[in-house]
Every structure is written in structure tokens, then in C-alpha cells.
Amino acid sequence: MHLDIAWQDVDTVLLDMDGTLLDLAFDNYFWQKLVPETYGERQGISPAQAQEFIRQQYSAVQHTLNWYCLDYWSERLGLDICAMTTAQGPHAILREDTVPFLDALQASGKRRILLTNAHPHNLAVKLEHTGLASHLDLLLSTHTFGYPKEDQRLWQAVAEETGLQPERTLFIDDSEPILDAAATFGIRYCLGVTNPDSGLADKSYLRHPGMNDYRRMIPSLSKEKP
């Protein structure tokens, strides 16, 4: 599925963070490997038992704000998830195509808004190590609104907070359920990232166009003068 964007009709670009602007390898390692390993060591159970327990815990709250909440996981697992996140911070890295794309958006007069489900501490750690904030106009964590991106109430709140017009907005994310939620709200352009984790094979989307390199959008964007 190909996405043809009429850039002259786009004022605002909403961007997810993990897997969209940052390499998802950081989060996949942290949540799929480091957390189960640390939990297993603390509990004195086998790696396989720890993996299965953690998997069940993740599944139970998927697509809710708790799934993204470091405080929830610290309490649920008895681990200092915030401290672990801080320690892993230097491993957070930008995608290669992120800065060229964000700079091209700025040159074309587009408003660049980060909209992440990441917990504020997680967001702060990643901003510190990537310098991402200097390439964005506004940074929003859904935790400050009380709903994740999967929830229509979040989209209503973000529209009210930012004044964005859904019909003049592009949204980029690496989660199909979240892209679905944005489309349901009326966001005109919804684009999926096919290579969120540099260490894994590309993924595909059933209901949305996909992209693996934002730099391919720059020529059409650059033709449009602000």
C-alpha cells in the first residue's frame, strides 16, 4: 500500500517515538530480555519460567496505559524499572532517517509533535541521550492525559491541547492498533514504520501503508514551500 501525501494540505506531523524516531532495539532488549532475566534472578526461577511469567503479565495489560507505565511495572515485578531505564539510557539511539526527515519537515513549515505512550521518565532518559527534543516543536507523553494512544479520549484531548486539525495531519507509528485508533479519530494520513527494530526483519501492515526510510519522502516534501 502506497501513501501519496498532499503536503500542501498537511500542517501537523504527529510522530511516535520508540520504533518510529528511535530504534526499537533498545526497548525490545529491555523488556524482552533484561527485565525477565533480572526478575528470574531475583525470584530464583529458571529463565524459561521468568519469560513465561513476564509474558503473561505483559499480555494482561496490553493496550492500556499500565503497559507503558514504569511505576506499574516496578510495583508489579518488585524491580526498580526507572533505575534500570536510566542505566540503559546510553543505548537509546536515533534511526538514521529521523533527523533528515524532521529537519525537512521544519524547512517546509510543518509542526512536528512527538506523541508517545512512553512514561515521562523513559521519555526524559531517551531525550537526554539522543538529543531528539531539539528537532521537535512539541513533546507529549500520553501519561499526562491519562489515556494511551489506543483510546479515542486521548485523541480528543490531544486535538484540544494542540489545536490540530485531523484532516490536515500525518501520523507515523509502528503499531497497527494505534494507527487504527488515529484513523478512527479522523487523522487523514496514517503511516506505519515497517522496520522499527534494526535487528529484526521488516514487518507489514494490513490496513495502513508502510515505510522503511523517511528520506524517501523528503523530495516530495521539499517541493512544497511553506
- pLDDT, one tens digit per residue, over 89-148 is 999 999 999 999 999 999 999 999 999 999 999 999 999 999 999 999 999 999 999 999
Q: What is the mean pLDDT of residues 12-40?
A: 97
Lowest mean pLDDT among 26-30, 45-49, 175-179, 219-223: 219-223
Q: What is the mean pLDDT of residues 144-162?
A: 97
Supply the mean pLDDT for the chain.
Answer: 96
Q: What is the mean pLDDT of residues 188-198?
A: 98
Q: What is the mean pLDDT of residues 66-79?
A: 95
Residue 215: the pLDDT is: 97
Q: Which residues contact 134 (CB under 8 A, 6 or more apart)?
A: none
Residue 223: the pLDDT is: 78
Residue 224: the pLDDT is: 65
CA 105 to each of CA 11, 77, 110, 204, 205: distance values in angstroms, whole numbers, following the listed order: 10, 41, 5, 25, 24
Q: What is the mean pLDDT of residues 53-62?
A: 95
Q: Is the pLDDT of residue 2 over 90?
A: no
DSSP string, 53-97: HHHHHHHHHTTSGGGG-HHHHHHHHTS-HHHHHHHHGGG--B-TT
Catalytic residue numbers, as ranges: 9
The pTM of the whole model exceeds 0.85: yes
What percent of the chain has pLDDT above 70? 99
Q: Is the pLDDT of residue 45 over 80?
A: yes
CA distance 208 to 196: 15
Residue 163: the pLDDT is: 97
Banded pLDDT at 225 (limits 50, 70, 90): low
Residue 211: the pLDDT is: 96
Q: What is the mean pLDDT of residues 148-176?
A: 97
CA distance 159 to 141: 14
Query: At 156, which amino acid appears?
Result: Q
CA distance 122 to 86: 8
Q: Is the pLDDT of residue 226 over 60?
A: no
